[in-house]
Amino acid sequence: MPIGEHVGKADWKTEKHVPAIDCPDKVKADQMFDVKVTVGKEIAHPNTTAHHIRWIALYFHPDGAKFSFQIARAEFAAHGESPEGADTSTIYTHSTATAAMKTKRAGTLHAVAFCNIHGLWESEKKIAVE
């Protein structure tokens, strides 16, 4: 079974694992713009040693292209752990990251996030170019 069939897809407003992609709907050709991806934008995801978001990857697929391009990948590595044990350090990362990119071609952004308990989740957003 292709791994795509194990990747959860839902509305990020109602499912806390789905990455929310924030960027302009339409961008200017060849000009940098920011893409912010967040897991837990509307409904907070637990952020503990036992249960947390490990990483988010962002891809861009130009319309009509054969392959996708990786734009960025963010690792979240502090989840309260310390030599004293789980959830003792008071240091936690929040699963959000911003990348800047540019393109001359319209296409679709794809974000994939991984929860250490609940696996892979994805979302997408179309970008038009003017």
Residue 94 within binding range of Fe ion, rule CB under 5 A: no
C-beta of 49: minimal distance to Fe ion in Å?
13
d(CA 63, CA 102): 15
Stretch that binds Fe ion, among 30-38, 78-86, 97-105, 112-120 (CB under 5 A): 112-120
Assigned token pair, 1: 């079974």
Assigned token pair, 23: 């960027």
Residue 113 within binding range of Fe ion, rule CB under 5 A: no
Between 3 and 117, CB nearer to Fe ion: 117
Assigned token pair, 127: 């970008």
Whether residue 51 lies in the annotated active site:
yes
d(CA 50, CA 100): 32
d(CA 129, CA 23): 13
Whether residue 81 lies in the annotated active site:
no
Among 118, 120, 124, 129, binds Fe ion (CB under 5 A): 118
List the catalytic residues: 15-17, 45, 51, 115, 118
